[in-house]
Amino acid sequence: MIPVKKSGAKYSAIVAISEELKKRQTAGEDILFLNRGINAVVNIDLSQVIPLIDFNSPQIQVYPPNNGHLHLRKSINQSFFHNKADIDNIFVTVGGMGALDLIFKSLQVSKVWLSENYWGAYINALKINNINQGFYKNFDEVLNNLEQFKDSALIICDPNNPTGNKLNDEYLLEVIEKLDKAGIIVIWDSPYRKLFFEWEEDDFYTKLLNFNNLIISESFSKSVGLSGQRIGFVHSTNKAFNEELNIKLLYATNGINGFAQVLVSKLLTTDVGKKAVSEFKRKTTEDIRKNIAYLNKKDFLAEEFYQNGNPIGIFVIANKSFDELLTKGIGSVPFSYFTTMPKEQADEYTRICVSVPHDDLRKFFDKF
């Protein structure tokens, strides 16, 4: 018998939904997969970028530096921080999940607080790392009860997964400033943001550099549509935290895939790369906007989730149940997978991915 160290974490229940939907498709049903968490309006066209990569170079063939290739860390500094960060504070990771796992492994906190509508994987990644979780309702509640959040960390995901809600940037910065002053660790995990912003104009991340208790967890899975490449990064200005993270990164990975790092770096720095990213973002966000406007007009959007912000995607909450949507061939995920709301109430809603071609979404929802 092999003795197993059980963490108590569960394999993603969403996978089972996806398998069930695929079965229906194989049996001949016309299915629209809005249960997924990827951008599916278009794929990023890499045909002009690949010829720029020298596959006979050490960058592709030899162990990369532990914290990531210098060229990639420099290009992340340029694209996210307008060159204002210290590249020694940037650590390339295995996507966003790898970034979060390293952060959870390296942080000494009594609890990690999640928003009441949260990405389910946080719970399992925390469980594997033996960290308790709590839930916050909104930032007003947090700021009025700062004592309760001492010795802990709080995750901010904006635009939010699952709701797609985006809060005002100035408000977010005010909240972060107060948390930072109170010594509460903020984990900024917002991998959807950069899809919706012009990177050169967006100075939000540069402003985040002012906060010593803030850790950024990022990913290129959504913003450039490369979830297959598994590239993300962590940024923190805290020396002791970075030292520990760097050690954990070494023994978890021995360096991150060289090809993927070169590819992302080319996307961020070369003209053809930037053009590919910009086209991908333009086409993707255009259809996301159309889809949300359409759902809103047809009263499919659960407006109650957008009272303090705006639905921008890539997900929204629909006011239809999983079964109701499935009668029209639409795959979704019951909202109860993502919320502290009582199950019977949550099951009246679903999380749907709106990053799909507008004509497809329209065709299926017009069946109602």
Ligand X SMILES: Cc1ncc(COP(=O)(O)O)c(C=O)c1O
Distance CA 103, CA 101 (A): 5
Tell the smallest beta-carbon distance from residue 23 to ligand X (Å): 23
Decide if 176 contacts 186 (C-beta within 8 A): yes
**N residues, the chain:** 368
Distance CA 1, CA 34 (A): 41
Question: Which residues of this protein are in contact with ligand X, per CB under 6 A?
Answer: 37, 95-97, 119, 157, 161, 189, 191, 219, 221, 227, 232
Burial class (CB within 10 angstroms; exposed 0-12, middle 13-18, buried 19+) of 328:
middle
Based on CB atoms, which residue is closest to ligand X, 227 or 270?
Answer: 227
Based on CB atoms, which residue is closest to ligand X, 37 or 334?
Answer: 37
Tell the smallest beta-carbon distance from residue 227 to ligand X (Å): 5
Decide if 192 contacts 161 (C-beta within 8 A): yes
DSSP state of 249: H
- Phi, psi dihedral angles at 304 (to 5 degrees): -60, -20
334 upstream amide cis, omega within 30 of 0? no
Which residue's beta carbon is nearest to the bound ligand X? Answer: 96
Based on CB atoms, which residue is closest to ligand X, 164 or 273?
Answer: 164
Tell the smallest beta-carbon distance from residue 338 to ligand X (Å): 10
Based on CB atoms, which residue is closest to ligand X, 316 or 365?
Answer: 316
Based on CB atoms, which residue is closest to ligand X, 48 or 227?
Answer: 227
Decide if 209 contacts 238 (C-beta within 8 A): no
Based on CB atoms, which residue is closest to ligand X, 75 or 219?
Answer: 219
Tell the smallest beta-carbon distance from residue 113 to ligand X (Å): 15
Tell the smallest beta-carbon distance from residue 95 to ligand X (Å): 3
CA distances, 283 to each of 63, 189, 224 (Å): 36, 24, 12
Based on CB atoms, which residue is closest to ligand X, 67 or 93?
Answer: 93
3-state secondary structure of 57: coil
Take residue 312 and report the two structure tokens written for it: 């921008």
Tell the smallest beta-carbon distance from residue 99 to ligand X (Å): 8
Decide if 60 contacts 72 (C-beta within 8 A): no
Tell the smallest beta-carbon distance from residue 28 to ligand X (Å): 30
- Phi, psi dihedral angles at 97 (to 5 degrees): -65, -40
Tell the smallest beta-carbon distance from residue 156 to ligand X (Å): 10
Give which of 190, 197, 209 is closest to 90, Cα–Cα. Answer: 209
Tell the smallest beta-carbon distance from residue 69 to ligand X (Å): 18
Based on CB atoms, which residue is closest to ligand X, 157 or 208?
Answer: 157
- Amino acid identity of residue 31, one-letter, is I
162 upstream amide cis, omega within 30 of 0? yes
Based on CB atoms, which residue is closest to ligand X, 227 or 246?
Answer: 227
Tell the smallest beta-carbon distance from residue 91 to ligand X (Å): 14
Decide if 334 contacts 327 (C-beta within 8 A): no
Write the DSSP assignment of 292-352 as a string of letters.
HHHHHHTT-B-GGGGTTSEE-SSEEEESS-HHHHHHTTEE-EEGGGSBSS-HHHHTT-EEE
Based on CB atoms, which residue is closest to ligand X, 335 or 365?
Answer: 335
